[in-house]
Amino acid sequence: MTTLPPSVSEAIHKQRDSYLSRLFELLRIPSVSADPGFSQDVYRAAKWVAATFEGMGLKTQTVKTATHPIVLAESPHIAGAPTVLVYGHFDVQPADPLEEWISPPYDPTVRDGNIYARGATDDKGQMLTHVFSTEAWLKSHGKLPINLKFLIEGEEESGSVALAQLMSGAYNEQLGCTVEEKLACDVVVISDSSQFGPGIPAITYGLRGIISFELTLFGPKQDLHSGTFGGAVANPVNALMRVMAAFQDDYGKVLIPGFYDDVEALSETERQQWQSLPFSEDEFMQQVGIRATFGEPGYSTIERCWSRPTMDINGITGGYQGEGGKTIVPAKASAKFTCRLVPNQDPVKIANAVKQLVQVRVPQMFTYKLKVGHAASGIVVPLDSPHMAAAADAITAGFGKPPVLIRSGGSIPIVSQFKDRLGVDTLLLGWGQNDDNTHSPNEKFSVEDFQRGIVASAHLWQAMADHAQLSRTSASKDLS
Ligand code: BES
Ligand code: MN
Ligand code: MN
């Protein structure tokens, strides 16, 4: 078990109110990356984060990109100590539908021990736990036990396009070195996921990948009277529904040809481990407000979320949507949809299969456009690394209980590139809860989870140093 220098624990305790009020400052900035109308706010959020790092005495750099800025910071180098790269994001999802928020999305409010605001848990609150723990170390102890680098971006919720370019070397000139040198580290740490449940902290060892699409069908050159023309002019909304219906059967199995070809079967061990987690189907249904769960036959709810690929329509539009009725054959119709992918599925292969299916399914009389958006592979991380052991220690110290091991259905697009380009694994240490309403109205983050996250993070830096020390000692023993 790790212990913190008493001054660090004290500092964290004393600064509780300051941490909360500074989180509120960041939450007041509506940094929606998906909507160009908010790009100045994304920029303001980047400046806030950069100023915070500078205030801590870290070497800080804001990379200007073709889209949203990326903030980098690093602590003074300690030779021989391990290096951890902390990744997070300061952008958020759109707040709509606004009328469903009990308190306004960008006016953070504490109710029943929870901070309500867009971005509270995803990811401003979780990300800041690592910033504040680092600040506590530096301010009260003068130095960190390890080397820390921060990579905080403003475009995660839109597929991390600029960061992918940074990772491929596109911004090396601004960095003043290669991205591999800049981000060189032993392991990546991300808090941008959830615990298994209240009082059940977790380490997430797998994420699904994702690929996004937008399909538009174009019919008549403008909306037409459905009495005069209906029946003789094909309706793009009707047709789009038939096209989209061809993607999935009634039971949730995806019908894109070849979709499951590279999906690996779930191991019996994993299946059994997941079965032993305390999960209630009834509570799950109640939490999301459904009468029955749904999905591929032969899989449990957890298995469906964590280990099976999907196709979901995220939004569909076309025709008249105002008050009352309007009898028309609409000019066009479109659907935004995403596939969640599991490790070993190739996003490019899936994109091609989707293109093929759309081509076959869209009736000849329509012109159509299929936009392929951002893509990322699914990942699993090894469970037997010393980093995992350090993380488990830190979580136990911060949350009072050892973590369970889980996978998650969400995606953090850049994680697979940390492995591919930097050769390092990622520790996914989620401090949130599944009912935090991420991407939904009334997003929240428990004040207590925020504080525990800061404590766990402070312990993590110490645990990383301790475990590196341990593995060096055992390595030298092996040699003798
Ligand atoms: N923090 C989430 C990812 C996440 C959610 C991980 C739940 C684990 C559990 C992240 O901000 C997110 O929402 N990612 C998007 C990525 C997409 C827009 C490219 C997602 O998963 O939809
Ligand atoms: Mn997130
Ligand atoms: Mn998100």
CA 156 to centroid of ligand 2, rounded, Å: 7
**Model confidence, pTM:** 0.95
DSSP 227-254: TTTBTTB--HHHHHHHHHHTTB-TTS-B
pLDDT by residue for the chain (480 residues), tens digit each?
Answer: 899 999 999 999 999 999 999 999 999 999 999 999 999 999 999 999 999 999 999 999 999 999 999 999 999 999 999 999 999 999 999 999 999 999 999 999 999 999 999 999 999 999 999 999 999 999 999 999 999 999 999 999 999 999 999 999 999 999 999 999 999 999 999 999 999 999 999 999 999 999 999 999 999 999 999 999 999 999 999 999 999 999 999 999 999 999 999 999 999 999 999 999 999 999 999 999 999 999 999 999 999 999 999 999 999 999 999 999 999 999 999 999 999 999 999 999 999 999 999 999 999 999 999 999 999 999 999 999 889 999 999 999 999 999 999 999 999 999 999 999 999 999 999 999 999 999 999 999 999 999 999 999 999 999 999 988 877 777 666 554
- 193 ligand 1 Cβ < 6 A: yes
The pLDDT assigned to 473 comes to 74
Asked if omega into 123 is within 30° of 0 (cis), the reply is yes
CA 438 to centroid of ligand 1, rounded, Å: 9
Query: What is the tens place of the pLDDT at every residue in 457-476?
Result: 999 999 999 988 877 777 66
- 159 ligand 1 Cβ < 6 A: yes
- 157 ligand 1 Cβ < 6 A: yes
Summarize the chain as % helix, strand, coil (round to 5): 40, 20, 40
Is 74 in a helix, a strand, or coil? Answer: strand
- 443 ligand 1 Cβ < 6 A: no
Which is nearest to 368 in space by CA: 234, 229, 227, 210?
234
187-190 and 426-428 strand pairing: parallel
Which is nearest to 394 in space by CA: 81, 133, 160?
133
Closest ligand by atom to 118 CA: 3
Phi/psi region, residue 176 (left: phi>0; alpha: psi -120 to 50; beta: rest), is: left
The encoded tokens of residue 29 equal 């900035």
CA 90 to centroid of ligand 2, rounded, Å: 9
114-116 and 70-74 strand pairing: unpaired
Whole-angstrom distance, CA of residue 338 vs CA of residue 347:
11
Whole-angstrom distance, CA of residue 269 vs CA of residue 384:
15
- 432 ligand 1 Cβ < 6 A: no
Query: What is the tens place of the pLDDT at every residue in 314-362?
Result: 999 999 999 999 999 999 999 999 999 999 999 999 999 999 999 999 9
Give, as residue ranges, everything with CB less than 5 Å from ion ligand 3. 122
Query: What is the tens place of the pLDDT at every residue in 266-293?
Result: 999 999 999 999 999 999 999 999 999 9
DSSP-derived letter for residue 193 is S
Chain centroid, CA 172 distance in Å? 25
Closest ligand by atom to 193 CA: 1
DSSP-derived letter for residue 171 is T
Mutation pick for ligand 1 pocket among 33, 195, 412 (CB with most ligand atoms within 8 Å): 412
For ligand 1, atom 7, which residue shows the shortest CA distance? 410
CA 123 to centroid of ligand 3, rounded, Å: 7
Q: Which residues contact 429 (CB under 8 A, 6 or more apart)?
A: 189, 190, 191, 193, 203, 204, 391, 394, 395, 456, 460
H or E segment and range at residue 153: strand 147-153
Whole-angstrom distance, CA of residue 250 vs CA of residue 254:
10
